[in-house]
Amino acid sequence: MVSNMANVNGKVNVIFVLFVLLQYATIAAAAAARERELYWKSEQAKDRISILPGQPSNVTFDHYSGYITVDKKAGRALFYWLIEATHDAQSKPLVLWLNGGPGCSSVAFGEAEELGPFHINSDGKTLFLNPYSWNK
């Protein structure tokens, strides 16, 4: 009888230790996930554009720009300009639009003259919102 009781107590102790370890692992995983989230939010904030020269004050979306390294050894990177959707941006698909070539810049012509959210006013110094922008 004493032997059975010791056996039960031993099992309870093992279960308790496993429970404590599981709790610790869960807390550690949650802390690591939070740390990764904070890291990416700080990295994202570095690329956020708070205002462009001549930008109108009624902009309702966030936009970011920076460089994505494509060949670190050769020092090669691609410029990007991410423009979020005007409504419910997290549920919208990400669209990658590339164009360019001699005399046809993606930013100067494609963004500013075609489907981008900003067009340049005739004064050449200020911007206005494109009602037909890709991020609507």
In a domain, 85, yes or no: yes
Q: Is the pLDDT of residue 10 over 70?
A: no
Same domain, 107 and 120: yes
Does pLDDT of 6 surpass 70? no
- Evaluate whether residue 136 is within a structural domain: no
Q: Tokens at residue 116, please? A: 């981008």
Full residue range of the structural domain in which residue 38 is found = 2-48
Residue 91 lies inside a defined structural domain of this protein: yes
CA 114 – CA 108 distance, rounded (Å): 10
Q: Determine the average pLDDT of the residues in 124-133.
A: 94
- pLDDT given at position 128: 96
pLDDT of residue 5: 58
Give the model's confidence band at 8: pLDDT under 50 very low, under 70 low, under 90 confident, else very high: low
Same domain assignment for residues 111 and 90: yes
Checking if the pLDDT of 19 tops 70, the result is: yes
| pLDDT computed for residue 50 by the predictor | 92
In a shared domain, residues 36 and 98 = no
Torsion of Cα atoms, 37 then 39 then 40 then 46, to 10°: 140
Q: Cα–Cα distance between 70 and 63 in angstroms, integer? A: 21
42/62 same-domain check: no
- Confidence (pLDDT) at 83: 93
Least confident segment among 1-5, 19-23, 81-85? 1-5
Query: Based on the domain organization, do 81 and 114 belong to the same domain?
Result: yes
pLDDT for 88:
93
Same domain, 117 and 94: yes
Q: Say what the pLDDT of residue 114 is.
A: 84
The string over 40-70, giving b where at least 16 C-beta atoms fall within 10 Å of a residue's C-beta and e elsewhere, is: eeeeeeeeeeeeeeebeeebeeebeebeeee
Quick one: what percent of the chain has pLDDT higher than 90?
A: 43
pLDDT tens per residue across span 37-62: 887 778 888 999 999 999 999 999 99
Q: How many domains does the chain have?
A: 2
